[in-house]
Amino acid sequence: MFPYIIRRLLIAIPVLLGVTVFSFLIVNLAPGNPVEMFVNPDISQADIELKKEALGLNDPIYVQYFRWLGNLVQGDFGFSYSTYEPVLSMVAQRIGPTLLLMGTALIVAYLFAIPIGVLSATRQYSWLDYLSTSASFLGISIPHFFLGLGFIYIFAVQLHVLPTGGMNTLGSDEGFADTFKHLILPALVLAAGIAGRMVRYVRSSMLDILGQDYLRTARSKGLREFFVINKHAFRNALIPIITVIGIDVSVLIGGAVVTEQIFQWPGLGQLTIQSIGSRDYPTLMAINFLAAIAVLTSNLLADIFYSVADPRIKYD
């Protein structure tokens, strides 16, 4: 297994390099550039030209790319074109909140979705099954922004039980309880979508397995139903589910963008939107790079968990 992991990590290098080339091209080919969008009529053309020169925007695109890559190799992500802050520290500040939000959403979603999916499959066509499939359908189809605004209206504006947004109450304590309160609504919004999808995967995956011969064998050996379901069936149903978890990470990054906007959650999603709006190339590149690493890592982890869940899968 370890040689496999090493090999996968080595393959990741050219893949990452390819990702940077493509994202650099795409980011730079998007119309508009960091200095051309100043709306303040007081700014003179001469000042704009000076800024452009200082940021190296007049160089050909490949020169800009290799300069960026050269700095990256030395661990330098450059500085933001709009705030002049080092990109690394900007991104580092945002990772914590994003991980907290995504992690909570994932845990909450799976804690609910997996048992519900299993129950739903074992009691197919029961009222519970209908209820859970309709609820999961709702969870998938309600857009994040809609659910988010609805939650804000109900829980913050009408009931006054939760804050409308942000990560901490300003000017008061910033302890964990306070952060937790701010976390509830955005995490629920994100979790709703993930859970909805998960319930359906678990349910159909379980249904597939439940018809298999080996389960009948297990039952006929006199094994208790609880063990049949949870040991034999669920374990085999896990394999396709692990793939879904791997995909969820990348889906989450996208979903978090909208949710973070609505709840002013200070994570990477919000930073992404700001950086796109201001065509802040270095920041966008750093975010792309990190996202690529996250996706590659989660895929690798999924593959490793595969072999844990199913001994038939071996990597040499």
Partner 1 sequence: MKRIRRTIGIAAIASLLLLAGCGGGSNTASSGGGSSSGNSGGSSSAGKTMFLGMVNPPIIFNPINSTDVASQFAEKFMFDTFLEMEGPLKFVPKLAESFETSDNQTFTIKINKDAKWSDGKPVTAEDAAFTFKLIANPKVETTVGSYLSMFDGLENTGKLKEGQTELSAVKVIDEKTIQFKTKAPVDPNMVKEQLGTKLMILPKHALENVDPAALSQNPFMQKPTVTNGPFKFVQYKKDQYIEYEKNPDYYLGAPELDKLFIKVLPAPNLVAQLQTGEVHMNVASGIGKIPPQDYETVKKFENVRTKDEPQFGFQTMMFNTEKLPDPKVRQAIAYALDRPQIVDKLLKGYGEVVDGPYTSINPYLDKSLEKYSYNVEKAKQLLQEAGWDFNRELNFVVPLGNKVREQSADILTQNLQAIGLKVKVTTYDFPTVMQKAKAGEFELLLMGLTFTLDPEVSSLYSSIGTFNFMKYKNPKVDELLLKGKAEPNSDKRKEIYNELQKIWNQDVPLITLYSDNEFSAISKQVANGEPKVFGFHNHLEKWSVGGAQ
Site for partner 1 in 144-203 (CB under 8 A): 149, 152-153, 156-157, 160, 162-177, 179, 181, 183
Q: Which stretch binds partner 1 (CB under 8 A): 28-36, 113-121, 222-230, 286-294?
A: 28-36
Out of 274, 289, 290, 315, the residue judged to bind partner 1 by CB under 8 A: 274
228, 218 contact by CB (below 8 A): yes
Structure token digits, residue 175:
């302890």
Out of 11, 61, 308, 313, the residue judged to bind partner 1 by CB under 8 A: 308
Q: Which stretch binds partner 1 (CB under 8 A): 6-14, 69-77, 221-229, 301-309?
A: 301-309
Q: How far apart are CA 11 and CA 27, in angstroms?
A: 24
Indicate the residue among 295 and 309 with the shorter CB distance to partner 1.
309
Q: Which stretch binds partner 1 (CB under 8 A): 68-76, 192-200, 256-264, 288-296?
A: 256-264
Question: Any contact of residue 132 with partner 1 (CB under 8 A)?
Answer: no
Question: Any contact of residue 36 with partner 1 (CB under 8 A)?
Answer: yes
Indicate the residue among 80 and 133 with the shorter CB distance to partner 1.
80
Minimum separation from the CB atom of position 33 to partner 1 (A): 7
Q: Which residues make Cβ contacts (< 8 Å) with residue 227, sequence separation at least 6?
A: 218
Out of 10, 13, 29, 46, the residue judged to bind partner 1 by CB under 8 A: 46
Q: How far apart are CA 189 and CA 150, in angstroms?
A: 10
Local structure of 79: helix, strand or coil: strand
143-148, long-range: CB < 8 A, 24+ apart: 143/258, 144/189, 144/190, 144/193, 144/255, 144/258, 144/259, 144/262, 145/258, 145/261, 145/262, 147/189, 147/192, 148/185, 148/186, 148/189, 148/258, 148/259, 148/262, 148/263
Minimum separation from the CB atom of position 125 to partner 1 (A): 32
Output the CA angle 236-238-242, nearest 5 degrees.
Answer: 140
Q: How far apart are CA 215 and CA 225, in angstroms?
A: 10
61, 25 contact by CB (below 8 A): yes
Residue type, 185: L
Question: Any contact of residue 290 with partner 1 (CB under 8 A)?
Answer: no
Out of 9, 48, 138, 154, the residue judged to bind partner 1 by CB under 8 A: 48
Q: How far apart are CA 144 and CA 136, in angstroms?
A: 14
Out of 266, 285, 292, 303, the residue judged to bind partner 1 by CB under 8 A: 266
Total binding residues toward partner 1, as defined by CB under 8 A: 80
Footprint of partner 1 on 66-85 (CB under 8 A): 79, 82-85
Minimum separation from the CB atom of position 138 to partner 1 (A): 23
Question: Any contact of residue 10 with partner 1 (CB under 8 A)?
Answer: no
Indicate the residue among 123 and 231 with the shorter CB distance to partner 1.
231
For residue 200, give the nearest of 252, 250, 141 by alpha carbon. Answer: 141
Structure token digits, residue 105:
């959403």
Question: Any contact of residue 270 with partner 1 (CB under 8 A)?
Answer: yes
Segments of the chain assigned E as strands: none
Out of 27, 90, 209, 287, the residue judged to bind partner 1 by CB under 8 A: 90
Indicate the residue among 133 and 253 with the shorter CB distance to partner 1.
253
Question: Any contact of residue 14 with partner 1 (CB under 8 A)?
Answer: no
Question: Any contact of residue 305 with partner 1 (CB under 8 A)?
Answer: yes
Residue type, 231: K
